[in-house]
Chain A
Amino acid sequence: MTDTELMDLVRKTLFDVAPDLEGEELEARETFHDQFEIDSMDFLNFVIGLAKATGVEIPESDYPRLQTPAGAVAYLRANWAAAST
């Protein structure tokens, strides 16, 4: 998957867990919390959604790396590659 496709996946997953945000523009380097008032429940649902879509197991200790859209894309790229080799 390209970074563009991964960003689309991040966007789609976010809108699935927070349908009230659908149509919003994502700022790649700003945290989900700061841009969208994402709380711990939204974030957990978001991580679950990403794990389901990609098969990447995301331990709780890695949550800080997924706080921004760009961070989530980078994390998925790195771990997806690792998982599939």
Chain B
Amino acid sequence: MIDFAMPSLGADMDAGTLVEWFIKPGDAVRRGDIIALVETQKGAIEIEVFQDGRLGDIKVGPGERVPVGTVLATILEPGETVPSPAAETPPSAVEEAAPPAPLSPRPPMPQLEAERAVPAAAPGEAAATRPRITPAARRQAAEKGIDLATVSPGAEGVIGLAEIAAVAAIKPAPAGETRARRPGIDLGEMRKAIAAAMSRSHRDIPHYWVSQTIDLTALFAWLEAENAKRSTAERLLYAAPLIKAVALALKERPELNGHYGEAGFVPAERVHLGIATALRGGGLVAPALHDADSIGLEELMTRLADLIPRARAGRLRSSELSDASATFSNLGEGTSEAIMPLIYPPQVAIVGCGAATLRPFVVGGKVEARRLLTVTVAGDHRVSDGRRASQFLARLDALLQKPEAL
């Protein structure tokens, strides 16, 4: 029997509220399955299980807020029998009889578990097993005391405000009924979490920064020609080749890709790039794009198009919040020229990009208007020096000059 504990979803999380269980005791679970929804400062996070087996007892019910590491449920390993409800002993007796179980199925710093290698759930996999619910709909449902299980999804399998309104119309609002706190993102709480993580970063990590201005004229010309050939749904944003190139260059610089924990630095074997995503109204979350170095640009676009809206809606998965091995922060179009970012602990590097703008640049001895991107690497002096970041940037520059090879 394995204890399934409240996971730590980043340096800034100390507790979470269990919102919903998607399975019941006795149900089979497979590694990577989403089995519960937990509300955190980063929204309602879908919690994945990390072993095959069956759900044993549920220890924490909907609405309960518990610290990271608290046992939420037990998982019976394959071969273990489900205790029959008839022969059930009182829970306390079971606990006393059971051998001491590990506190958590995952180590306290899940990012260090490089060999875990859980494939990311295919986009839409979760949606196939249960309806998508918009945050506004969740809020409405919570306010009106409507059980989401009683709401039928709309045309595209999504429960929105219209579906909630339809149920609300036939169900009078219960008086004084208390529900779990509403899931979704509380920007005030998120700001506190960012402040805590960045204070820790600023205090503990001896940062250095190295910048380079990279000519993206060739990349943009390639992209324009490529996109003219593609249908709307297949077009690429320049972020896609940029992310791929960053991930490839990180793969070659292990000192910039990994985690610094109590035992010192542990390089990551794979490149799970955290994509810093700004939330409307303020706030920031950087979910991991798994194996960003080894997927094609189309796949990368598809995953980004799935990941970013989910990050904004507060609908991420636990692995996406715990797996990033480095972070990519792209200010994007119509913004500023450069950014000097802070590392997200326990990572050891962050790559920040300003806007890609037309600026003067010397090409073949002459000044020309070129599409330029200023890329800044923040590195951790406990692990590397500016020289490494400079080598990384030189490699990134070279990769971006041959976009067709990405």
- Chain A residues within CB distance 8 Å of chain B: 15-23, 33, 36-37, 39-42, 44-45, 47-48, 51-52, 57-60
Contacts A44-B235, A48-B232 known; A20 to B332 CB distance under 8 Å?
no
Interface assignment of B340: CB less than 8 Å from any CB of chain A: no
Residue numbers in A under 8 Å from B231 (CB-CB): 51, 57
User: When the two chains form their complex, are residues B237 and A19 in contact, meaning their CB atoms are under 8 A apart?
Assistant: no
User: When the two chains form their complex, are residues A60 and B227 in contact, meaning their CB atoms are under 8 A apart?
Assistant: yes
User: When the two chains form their complex, are residues A19 and B305 in contact, meaning their CB atoms are under 8 A apart?
Assistant: no
| B126 smallest CB distance to A (angstroms) | 15
CA distance A39 to B10 in the complex (A): 25
- The proximity string for B residues 115-142 relative to A, scoring 1 for CB distances below 8 Å and 0 otherwise, is 0000000000000000000111100000
User: When the two chains form their complex, are residues B280 and A21 in contact, meaning their CB atoms are under 8 A apart?
Assistant: yes
CA distance A58 to B304 in the complex (A): 21
Q: Which of B135, B235, B280, B333 contacts A60 (CB 8 A)?
A: B235
User: When the two chains form their complex, are residues A19 and B239 in contact, meaning their CB atoms are under 8 A apart?
Assistant: no
The residue of chain A having its C-beta at the shortest distance from the C-beta of B306 within the complex is A45
Residue numbers in B under 8 Å from A21 (CB-CB): 280
User: When the two chains form their complex, are residues B232 and A20 in contact, meaning their CB atoms are under 8 A apart?
Assistant: no
User: When the two chains form their complex, are residues B333 and A20 in contact, meaning their CB atoms are under 8 A apart?
Assistant: no
Q: Which of B161, B309, B332 contacts A45 (CB 8 A)?
A: B309
| A43 smallest CB distance to B (angstroms) | 9
CA distance A20 to B283 in the complex (A): 13
The residue of chain A having its C-beta at the shortest distance from the C-beta of B223 within the complex is A60
Interface assignment of B334: CB less than 8 Å from any CB of chain A: yes
| B168 smallest CB distance to A (angstroms) | 15
| B7 smallest CB distance to A (angstroms) | 24
User: When the two chains form their complex, are residues B305 and A45 in contact, meaning their CB atoms are under 8 A apart?
Assistant: yes
User: When the two chains form their complex, are residues A40 and B332 in contact, meaning their CB atoms are under 8 A apart?
Assistant: yes
Contacts A36-B280, A52-B233, A57-B232 known; A20 to B313 CB distance under 8 Å?
yes
Interface assignment of B278: CB less than 8 Å from any CB of chain A: yes
Interface assignment of B71: CB less than 8 Å from any CB of chain A: no
Residue numbers in A under 8 Å from B308 (CB-CB): 41-42
Residue numbers in A under 8 Å from B279 (CB-CB): 20
| B42 smallest CB distance to A (angstroms) | 13
In order of increasing CB-CB distance, the 10 nearest A-B pairs are A22-B136, A51-B232, A19-B134, A37-B280, A19-B313, A48-B233, A41-B308, A20-B313, A20-B312, A60-B227
In this complex, the interface size class of chain B, counting residues with CB under 8 Å from chain A, is: 20 to 34
Name the residue among B134, B280, B314 with the largest chain A CB count within 10 angstroms: B280
**Interface of A (DSSP majority class):** helix
Interface assignment of B228: CB less than 8 Å from any CB of chain A: yes
Interface assignment of B160: CB less than 8 Å from any CB of chain A: yes
User: When the two chains form their complex, are residues A60 and B304 in contact, meaning their CB atoms are under 8 A apart?
Assistant: no
CA distance A14 to B228 in the complex (A): 24
Q: Which of B158, B185, B309, B333 contacts A17 (CB 8 A)?
A: B309
CA distance A21 to B137 in the complex (A): 11
Residue numbers in B under 8 Å from A33 (CB-CB): 334
CA distance A36 to B228 in the complex (A): 28
| A6 smallest CB distance to B (angstroms) | 18
User: When the two chains form their complex, are residues A18 and B309 in contact, meaning their CB atoms are under 8 A apart?
Assistant: yes
Residue numbers in A under 8 Å from B309 (CB-CB): 17-19, 41-42, 45
User: When the two chains form their complex, are residues B161 and A23 in contact, meaning their CB atoms are under 8 A apart?
Assistant: yes
User: When the two chains form their complex, are residues A22 and B305 in contact, meaning their CB atoms are under 8 A apart?
Assistant: no
| A72 smallest CB distance to B (angstroms) | 14
Q: Which of A15, A40, A51 contacts B233 (CB 8 A)?
A: A51
CA distance A33 to B280 in the complex (A): 11
User: When the two chains form their complex, are residues A19 and B332 in contact, meaning their CB atoms are under 8 A apart?
Assistant: no
User: When the two chains form their complex, are residues B237 and A44 in contact, meaning their CB atoms are under 8 A apart?
Assistant: yes
Residue numbers in B under 8 Å from A41 (CB-CB): 237, 239, 304-305, 308-309
Residue numbers in B under 8 Å from A20 (CB-CB): 135-136, 185, 279-280, 312-314
> What are 15 A-to-B residue pairs whose CB atoms are below 8 Å?
A18-B309, A19-B309, A20-B136, A23-B161, A36-B280, A37-B280, A39-B333, A42-B308, A42-B309, A48-B232, A48-B233, A59-B228, A60-B224, A60-B228, A60-B235
The residue of chain A having its C-beta at the shortest distance from the C-beta of B237 within the complex is A40
| B107 smallest CB distance to A (angstroms) | 33
